C-alpha cells in the first residue's frame, strides 16, 4: 500500500511540475531564422505555444543600426503577435524579442534574416 501511495504521489508531482515550469515555446516566426526574402515582408509574425506577453522587440541591421518599429509592449497575453514592418533595404537584419510567459519567466530569442 505504501508503494502505491508513493507511486501516485510521484506521478502527481511529475504532472504538476510539468505544468508549473512550462515555458511559452516559439512555434513559428516570420521572418524565419536564416531565411532570405526577395519580396518585402509586410509584418513580423510571432507565434508561441502558450499565451505570453511580448514586452520587447527590436530590429537592427548588420551594422547595428536600429530600425524603427511601431511596437508597444503587450498588456494582454496572446499566442500570436503581428507587427507592421517598414520597407527594408537589402541587407542582413537581426530581430530580437523578449516575452513574459504566464509562469513569470522572461525568455529572449532572436532571428537573423536577409532582405534581397
The grid coordinates listed for 8 are 501516485
Stated pTM of the model? 0.76
Please give the torsion angle defined by the CA atoms of residues 60, 24, 22 and 105, in that order, rounded to the nearest 10 degrees. 50
Q: How far apart are CA 103 and CA 22, in angstroms?
A: 7
Query: Quick check: is 7 in a domain?
Result: no
* CATH number of the CATH domain containing 102: 2.60.40.1220
Bigger pLDDT: 99 vs 13: 99
User: SS3 of 18, please?
Assistant: helix
Query: Quick check: is 12 in a domain?
Result: no
Query: Quick check: is 67 in a domain?
Result: yes
Q: How far apart are CA 91 and CA 112, in angstroms?
A: 11
Q: pLDDT tens-digit profile of 32-84?
A: 999 999 999 999 999 999 999 999 999 999 999 999 999 999 999 999 999 99
Amino acid at each position: 500500500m505504501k508503494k502505491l501511495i508513493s507511486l501516485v504521489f510521484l506521478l502527481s508531482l511529475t504532472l504538476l511540475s510539468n505544468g508549473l515550469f512550462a515555458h511559452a515555446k516559439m512555434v513559428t516566426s516570420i521572418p524565419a531564422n536564416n531565411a532570405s526574402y526577395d519580396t518585402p515582408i509586410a509584418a513580423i509574425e510571432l507565434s508561441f505555444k502558450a499565451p505570453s506577453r511580448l514586452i520587447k522587440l527590436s530590429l537592427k541591421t548588420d551594422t547595428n543600426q536600429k530600425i524603427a518599429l511601431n511596437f508597444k509592449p503587450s498588456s494582454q497575453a496572446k499566442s500570436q503577435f503581428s507587427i507592421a514592418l517598414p520597407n527594408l533595404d537589402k541587407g542582413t537584419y537581426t530581430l530580437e524579442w523578449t516575452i513574459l510567459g504566464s509562469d513569470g519567466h522572461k525568455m529572449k530569442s532572436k532571428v537573423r534574416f536577409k532582405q534581397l
